[in-house]
Structure 1
């Protein structure tokens, strides 16, 4: 997040524009950028601008998702804090700003579609849409299950993101895949969902899909599209799941 030290509070919302810029500005605390307030804002690169928009988008929509069932639970708060500190490894000021975005967005009346449309304009590629959707699904699962209101919101946003068909079911497969109580048939069905393919496809077709997904979620590909280093662990986890699914499918066909 090299952009974080290059801006001042007064310029952040203006630089982003749109509903995400409004949230970015509303979330700013008076002291958040005080350390840099004496300096002129330094020029940020186009890639840093993308990283900034992805960061604000994630935590804006996390706020919306966390309150989808009417309130933000302690489990969801704990997950968000753990996600920031341990998975993203954000610094203190970065975490404070992310929490400010969550709080601002949960009380904001802007339709979630407006945020998604702005996100899609900046990030036209399906892999970046998938990364965002996975974060939101994980937040919804923070208390161990998905409430009907959360499921409705997850299904509502998928048409605005370039994600695979039946994305909700595919995400469920990812979360259920680790259970030792699952039958081998259920596990195999989940692996097909992870790859977004079907048992009726040929080996060659499945291999082609597998290779395409590996290219899409390669760290270099995602970095070139605006995914910052802090979020790269999500991409690495997805590559692991893709590889596991492909190997399991190959084994079942031998």
Structure 2
């Protein structure tokens, strides 16, 4: 049985009422995927993305067609599982539990199988990237969406600098800084920039992402990451050329 089929079976077992489904969902999730960490990671990502997208829509108060399209870019949902995806979305949106409680539980689900001393991006980083992708789909990151993402990022364990690095791939918070996309200081050397570029290009390769639990259809975010990375590299190169020309 593939991950989507197991996802559907999990959702079908959820209570019919939206009130306080979070604890039931988490308990069922852990027992349902006991002994199958690979499938658990894939389903954890999907559950986290769907549930937190619903909570973000509730916090913002508006769901635009562009945001729906962005959601569908992330998930190529099998036709027979569409009903289950939107059932989870609506249950999460209507649940009395706040988005902070959801973020905490989703962080735990996405981190349970993380290997020790693993320097690869966290599955929660993929989730946060996906939420940014949806939030900015209409061309604007609204204040309530940014506040939501900052709180979720903090619950996920990201520092302010790490959050800024993730955000910089999608929107400039204040003055645009291409070094922020790479998570480097403004005075990073050319060698440091190139090394970091190679590391990120490897980490964001679709095969590498799938290996850590991100569904194969998550290519849209991988492509967006690489586009932001390449744009940042071009901007850094232009800054260096301008600096050298001034010194000549």
TM-score tier by shorter-chain length is 0.7 to 0.9
Deviation string 1:89-120 (CA, Å, 9 cap, x unpaired) is 32323333222221111122331323223323
Query: How many residues are aligned here?
Result: 222
Q: 2 CA distance for matches of 1:253 and 1:239? A: 21
Tell me the TM-score normalized by structure 1: 0.71
- For residue 43 of structure 2, the aligned residue among 16, 34, 52 is 52
Which residue in 1 is equivalent to 2:154? 159
TM norm structure 2: 0.72
Structure 1 equivalent of residue 126 of structure 2: 131
CA shift in 2, pair 1:8/1:149, >3 Å: closer
Q: What RMSD, in angstroms, separates the aligned Cα atoms of the two structures?
A: 3.5
SS in 2 for 1:48: helix
| Alpha-carbon distance, 1:172 to partner | 5.2
Q: Is residue 240 of structure 2 the alignment partner of residue 240 of structure 1? A: no
Partner SS for 1:67: helix
Is 2:71 the partner of 1:68? no
Distance 1:7 1:142 in 2: 26
- Give, in angstroms, the shift of residue 10 of structure 1: 6.0
Gaps of 5+ in 1: 26-40, 178-185
Q: Given that residues 20 and 56 in structure 1 are in contact (C-alpha distance below 8 angstroms), is that contact kept between their aligned partners in structure 2? A: no
Question: Please, which of 183, 186, 198 is the counterpart of residue 185 of structure 2?
Answer: 198
Map 1:190-229 → 2, pairs under 5 A: 190-229=177-216
Instruction: For residue 161 of structure 1, report the CA deviation from its aligned partner.
Output: 2.8
| CA deviations over 1:13-68 (Å, ceiling 9, x no partner) | 69xxx94761797xxxxxxxxxxxxxxx9x99542332111111110111111111
**Residue 109 of structure 2: which of 110, 118, 134 is its match?**
118
In structure 2, the CA distance between the partners of 1:83 and 1:12, relative to structure 1 (3 Å rule), is same
> How many Å separate the matches in 2 of 1:56 and 1:169?
25
* Equivalent position of 1:2 in the other structure: 2
Q: Do the aligned partners of 2:55 and 2:92 also contact (CA within 8 Å) in 1?
A: yes
- Helix, strand or coil at the partner of 1:166: helix
